[in-house]
Amino acid sequence: MNILLIGYGKMGQLIDKLATDAGHQIVGKITIDNTADLQTLDTEAVDVAIEFSQPEAAIDNIKWCIDHQIPVAVGTTGWLDRKQEVDEYCELNNGTYLVASNFSIGVNLFFKLNEQLAKLMNSQSQYAVSTKEIHHTHKLDAPSGTSISIANGIIDHLDRKTSWVNEETDVPTELTIISERIDPAPGTHEISYTSSVDTIDIRHTAHSREGFAKGAIAVAAWLKDQKGVKSMEDFLNQV
């Protein structure tokens, strides 16, 4: 397939290598320095775009893809409080996009495990829950998009939590997300349930960025033949 890479940093460059090795063609590489190249790009030659840029840039990039009828798989985090607005723009303009806070298959299994454990904890009020994410020091957003997805999974399935905060908290209805920045951590997410007698920890540790990149390429290959606002759930259920 012909892929347009929007954002050509750590993720864009790795996707370039893995997609090229797998026989795909990269038809454009957009960074903050050459966004003007989009104006002269032959959009007919693009099957799908993969967007890994930065929080301030993502929405404009997604809207550009929607305007040009290019399906776009979006990995950029830190803007998802405005997802509803982008969903509506996509539907209104007959576009196609999918955003995932994490494209790794392992993390998406971990999301399911998190939800199951949260459900079980409804009848076990002696356990206090908290979460932690660890990433490299170049990361612009905190908490990570993945940790927000985890927190929402807990809030949706554990009755005693109704919101999250990015700090330690004593408010019973608030869920703590602790963010640590340590190089070279590609991405670690932990959930802990602690009682006076024991602790249950579940943790996903990315060993490199390869899982994110391979997941994004697989999603892009599927998304190019879809229509509308799609989710990782849609992808995993159909592939």
Ligand X SMILES: O=C(O)C1=N[C@H](C(=O)O)C[C@H](O)C1
Q: Does 57 bind ligand NDP (CB under 6 A)?
A: yes
Q: Does 212 bind ligand NDP (CB under 6 A)?
A: yes
Q: Please choose which of ligand NDP, ligand X, none residue 152 contacts, taking the beta carbon within 5 to 8 angstroms, the exact cut-off set by kind.
A: none
Q: What's the CA gap between 94 and 74, in Å, rounded?
A: 17
The b-or-e profile of 189-220 (16+ CB within 10 A means b, else e) is: bbbbbeeeeeeeeeebebeebebbbbbbbbbb
Q: Distance of alpha carbon 122 from its chain centroid, rounded?
A: 27
135 counts as catalytic: yes
Give me the 24-43 binding string for ligand NDP, x by CB under 6 A, dash otherwise.
------xxxx-x--------
Give me the 216-235 binding string for ligand NDP, x by CB under 6 A, dash otherwise.
--------------------
Q: Distance of alpha carbon 65 from its chain centroid, rounded?
A: 18
Q: Does 109 bind ligand NDP (CB under 6 A)?
A: no
Q: Please choose which of ligand X, ligand NDP, none residue 8 contacts, taking the beta carbon within 5 to 8 angstroms, the exact cut-off set by kind.
A: ligand NDP
Tally Cβ neighbours within 10 Å of residue 38.
16
Tell me which of 24, 63, 132, 135 is the catalytic residue: 135
Binding segment for ligand X among 80-88, 114-122, 142-150, 170-178 (CB under 6 A)? 142-150
Instruction: Give the pairing type, strands 25-30 and 199-205.
Output: unpaired
Q: What's the CA gap between 45 and 210, in Å, rounded?
A: 27
Please tell me whether the peptide bond between 143 and the residue prior to it is cis, using omega within 30 degrees of 0: yes
- Least separation in angstroms between CB 11 and ligand X: 8
Q: Does 108 bind ligand X (CB under 6 A)?
A: no
Residue recorded with tokens 């996903």: 204
Tally Cβ neighbours within 10 Å of residue 115.
17
Q: State the number of binding residues for ligand NDP (CB under 6 A).
A: 27
Q: Does 146 bind ligand X (CB under 6 A)?
A: yes
Task: Say how many Å lie between the first and final Cα of the chain, rounded.
Answer: 17
User: What are the CA-CA distances from residue 59 to residues 65, 85, 89, 122 (Å)?
Assistant: 10, 9, 10, 37
Q: Does 139 bind ligand X (CB under 6 A)?
A: yes
Q: Does 77 bind ligand X (CB under 6 A)?
A: yes
Q: Which residues bind ligand X (CB under 6 A)?
A: 77, 101-102, 135, 139, 144-146, 187
Q: Which residues does the annotation mark as catalytic?
A: 135, 139
Q: Which residues bind ligand NDP (CB under 6 A)?
A: 6-12, 30-33, 35, 52-54, 57, 61, 75-78, 100-103, 141, 212
